[in-house]
Amino acid sequence: MKMLIAGEWISTPETVDVINPYTGEVIDTTPSATIEDAERAITSAHRHKKIMAKMPRHLRAGILDKAASIIEDRAEEFARRIVSETGKTITEGRRETARCVNTLHLSASSARAFHGQAIPFDSMESGVGKVGYYRREPLGVILCITPFNDPLNLVAHKLGPAIASGNTVVLKPSEMAPLSAISLCEVLIEAGLPPLALNVITGSGKKLSDPLIKNDVIKMISLTGGVVAGKNIAAAAGMVRMAFELGGCGSCIVMDDGDIDKAVKTCVSGAFAAAGENCVSVQRVLVHASIFDEFEEKFITAAKNVSYGDPMREDTEMGTMISAAAATAVQQRVEEAVVEGATVHAGNVRDGALYAPTVLSGIKRDAWLSTNEIFGPVVALYPFEDFDDAKEFSNAPGGAIHMAIFTSNINHAYEAFGDLEASMVLINESTDFRIDAMPFGGAGSAGLGREGVKFSMEEMTEPKAICVSLG
């Protein structure tokens, strides 16, 4: 595949292999962009930013709706591409493709409806005889950096709102799974997006990081990635708007008055979907001591029954991780926990990039696994006696995207909502739940700003006011 710079799809002498994590085969190559390529992309985006800023919103909306329809017509092709480059299951690939279609349609609807409002100047004596309003204008050039784990829909969550709000974009997808992102960009151009409005840079993130993030032309960086990457970019970027979704280590709390069977079912699903490579994956489950043994037994049984393996099989429930190296790193963390006293009840078996659904207990509260996102199919179970203690433990890492509680007590539910430090608290649902229209992001160290189409558009624009004196 090629990358898009200054309105042209181009190749480079040096390329990067894209590997199918299940088969180990090279499925495609992408250009390895140079620093000069990155600078040229940014310059082009800046030079042509008026193309999108002056485009009527009905045209922006029409492009996004048409792109969504094209992807819907080619849904199976997109789903299989997702599976090939990430190791997600075919069911998950289809689900992500459907969500991408929804995200683009949401972006189209928001393009038509996004607006400012009148300013009540006469609320002050000095404002009598004056009228005006503000509207939201695009920032200009948006740098979008996307990860491998949702290679289509997470890209749509950045491109859709950016286009809807009239910005030009420089997109840097993960070098490990760039194919779905490039295909989405091809569809947007096919749907009528001016090629000069979008630049796609492929290759090494480390090599391209400085020229991309330290360029004063960039007005906003939209990143989905890890905490370390987010801190490094924030330290280097200078005065630029940032929207960072960085992941975290949220908890699911199961009270003694909660529905155990529902908690087991939704937490198992939330833990092992996408092989745990999900920023809202279930990793820590805190269970009231009075029901811990029952919950643990049912959870272990359910985890052992998760079918994993060939991601193209219709009956496979969990595919591979993104690479053998990623699976090895997860296994090493589990082995470290075992040395420190943890017990493995299921899993901890690796075959290349395939790592079995793994369940642990007996992990110390200050252990690495208790305070960091592992980003793999690993769940740690913890008993607790006191609700306040469970909330304190949940908040200890300093930031999370989602947290959850299973309870039939409305007071417990609202207490959790008030006290848990996360951007969303789910009641009787696991942390893994999300829809594309909701505000989405991290609290504390888990992120800055919010995604979700309308909320992303607010991040990608700024208010500009007009005042007219009527004399």
Mind listing the pLDDT tens digit for each residue in 172-209? 999 999 999 999 999 999 999 999 999 999 999 888 98
Q: What is the pLDDT of residue 248?
A: 84
Q: What is the pLDDT of residue 3?
A: 98
Is the pLDDT score of 308 beyond 80? Answer: yes
Cβ–Cβ < 8 Å for 218, 162: no
Query: pLDDT (tens digit, 9 = 90+) per residue, 31-50?
Result: 999 999 999 999 999 999 99
Those residues with Cβ within 8 angstroms of residue 36's Cβ, 6 or more apart along the chain or in another chain: none
Query: pLDDT (tens digit, 9 = 90+) per residue, 140-151?
Result: 999 999 999 999
Find, among 79, 150, 108, the residue nearest to 432 by Cα.
Answer: 150
Q: What is the pLDDT of residue 399?
A: 85
The residues assigned a catalytic role are 245, 279
- The average pLDDT across 59-78 equals 98
Query: pLDDT (tens digit, 9 = 90+) per residue, 118-175?
Result: 999 999 999 999 999 999 999 999 999 999 999 999 999 999 999 999 999 999 999 9
Average pLDDT, the chain: 96
Banded pLDDT at 375 (limits 50, 70, 90)? very high
Tell me the HSE value of 219 on the side-chain side, using a 13 A CA sphere.
Answer: 18
Is the pLDDT score of 471 beyond 90? Answer: no
Calpha distance 274→264 (Å, rounded): 18
Q: Does domain 251-435 have CATH number 3.40.309.10?
A: yes
Banded pLDDT at 285 (limits 50, 70, 90)? very high
| Domain parsing of the chain, residue ranges | 3-246+446-469, 251-435
Using alpha carbons, list the distances in angstroms from residue 106 to 36, 169, 173.
35, 19, 22
User: What percentage of the chain has pLDDT greater than the value 70?
Assistant: 100
Q: What is the pLDDT of residue 247?
A: 85
Query: pLDDT (tens digit, 9 = 90+) per residue, 229-283?
Result: 999 999 999 889 999 999 888 999 999 999 999 999 999 999 999 999 999 999 9
Calpha distance 455→457 (Å, rounded): 5
Q: Which DSSP state fits 122?
A: G
Is the pLDDT score of 286 beyond 80? Answer: yes
Question: Dihedral of the CA atoms 379, 383, 389, 395 (nearest 10)?
Answer: 0
Calpha distance 436→452 (Å, rounded): 6
Calpha distance 302→244 (Å, rounded): 34
DSSP 240-273: -EEEEE-----EEEE-TTS-HHHHHHHHHHHHHG
Query: pLDDT (tens digit, 9 = 90+) per residue, 379-401?
Result: 999 999 999 999 999 999 888 99
Is the pLDDT score of 362 beyond 80? Answer: yes
User: Residue 443 has which token pair?
Assistant: 């609290």
First to last CA, the chain: 61
Using alpha carbons, list the distances in angstroms from residue 13 to 4, 26, 451.
15, 17, 36
Is the pLDDT score of 346 beyond 80? Answer: yes
User: What percentage of the chain has pLDDT greater than the value 90?
Assistant: 94
Calpha distance 138→457 (Å, rounded): 9
CATH number for the domain whose boundaries are 3-246+446-469: 3.40.605.10
Q: How many CB atoms lie within 10 A of CB 31?
A: 23
> Beta 241-245 vs 251-254: how paired, if at all?
unpaired
Calpha distance 437→425 (Å, rounded): 16
- The average pLDDT across 433-446 equals 93
